[in-house]
Structure 1
Amino acid sequence: MADKLYFTGTTHVAGGANGYARSTNGIVDIALPQPHPAAENLFAAAWSACFIGALELAAGQRKVALPATPEIDTTIDLLMRDGGFVLRARLDIQVPGIEPDVARELIDVAHSICPYSKAVAGNIDIELNLV
């Protein structure tokens, strides 16, 4: 079966003291005077947004009504390990109004659905916390 394209995001980035990132659809338009911590913050925002969508999809698949929108605080750490740079992630996930065991199941399923989670699986240390 052929791939079904759902969305394409294109962003132009320029570096340097007057650096910036601008998406072709105008949603992203920010100054990037330095590559870090902007890169980690942007990655955290993108992954969190995707993960919330995956949580909502997981809830729908399991016929679980979410009384409120999930929220996530994502921390991306840039580390030096064994002479090279690596990332580490911690997602502190709130699923309000849902029993903790059901919320934990939804988080685990969302992690298996989210394309960002799939992209980094086995490549970085990831901590998923229900808060």
Structure 2
Amino acid sequence: MKKNLYTADATATGGRSGHVRSSDSVIDLNMSVPEGLGGKKGATNPEQLFAAGYASCFQQALIVIANRENQTLDPASTVQCSVTLFQEGEGYGLSAVLDVDLKGMDLQTATDIVNKAHQICPYSVGTRGNMEVELKIAGQPAAVAADNA
């Protein structure tokens, strides 16, 4: 049974060269095409916002899974998310790479926790089957469980 926990609201004006503001004004940012594509400095873009959200959300999923497994994540553990905007024919798409560094954790345990986190993270669930997501552990490709692909 689905149980709504939270709804975020934001409004954009002007597209990639405009402005975005959350309903509570915590996010209140100028937007721009990425600088490498001719945009201006000092403004963010949708890909950066998506990468920040995915990294944060995946980090929380790792914490939840580690707790379930009676593990403790080192507070210095990180999730770095790279989101790529690409063009394919007339359409555009996104892909993501999640590079997880569970400081001090052995590779097998880290792989297990990363795979389980990928099953419950709302961003992973929402993108599964819709965009390519690559998992890495400390910069190396992660052994992904078949049902995580």
What TM-score comes out, normalization by structure 1 length? 0.88
Number of residue pairs the alignment of both structures matches: 130
CA contact (8 A) 2:87 2:93 kept: yes
CA displacement at 1:95 relative to structure 2? 1.0
**Structure 1 spans left out of the alignment, 5+ residues:** none
Worse-superposed segment, 81-90 or 117-126: 81-90
Worse-superposed segment, 73-82 or 28-37: 28-37
Give the alignment partner of residue 109 of structure 1, picking from 96, 116, 136: 116
Give the alignment partner of residue 59 of structure 2, picking from 52, 60, 78: 52
In 2, Cα distance between equivalents of 1:118 and 1:50: 11
What is the aligned partner in structure 2 of residue 71 from structure 1?
78
What is the aligned partner in structure 2 of residue 100 from structure 1?
107
4+ runs of 1 displaced by more than 4 Å? none
CA displacement at 1:84 relative to structure 2? 2.0
In 1, Cα distance between equivalents of 2:15 and 2:103: 41
CA displacement at 1:123 relative to structure 2? 1.4
The Cα offsets for residues 53-81 of structure 1, whole Å up to 9 and x where unpaired, read as 10001101111111224312211111122
What is the aligned partner in structure 2 of residue 11 from structure 1?
10
Over the residues paired in the alignment, what is the CA RMSD in angstroms? 2.1
Residue 118 of structure 1: SS of its match in structure 2? helix
Amino acid across the alignment from 1:58: I
CA contact (8 A) 1:16 1:34 kept: no
Distance 1:8 1:70, change over 3 A: farther
CA contact (8 A) 2:16 2:45 kept: no
**Structure 2 spans left out of the alignment, 5+ residues:** 139-149
Q: Higher relative CO (CA 8 A, sep ≥ 6), structure 1 or 2?
A: 1
Amino acid across the alignment from 2:62: L
Identity %: 31
What TM-score comes out, normalization by structure 2 length? 0.78
Residue 44 of structure 1: SS of its match in structure 2? helix
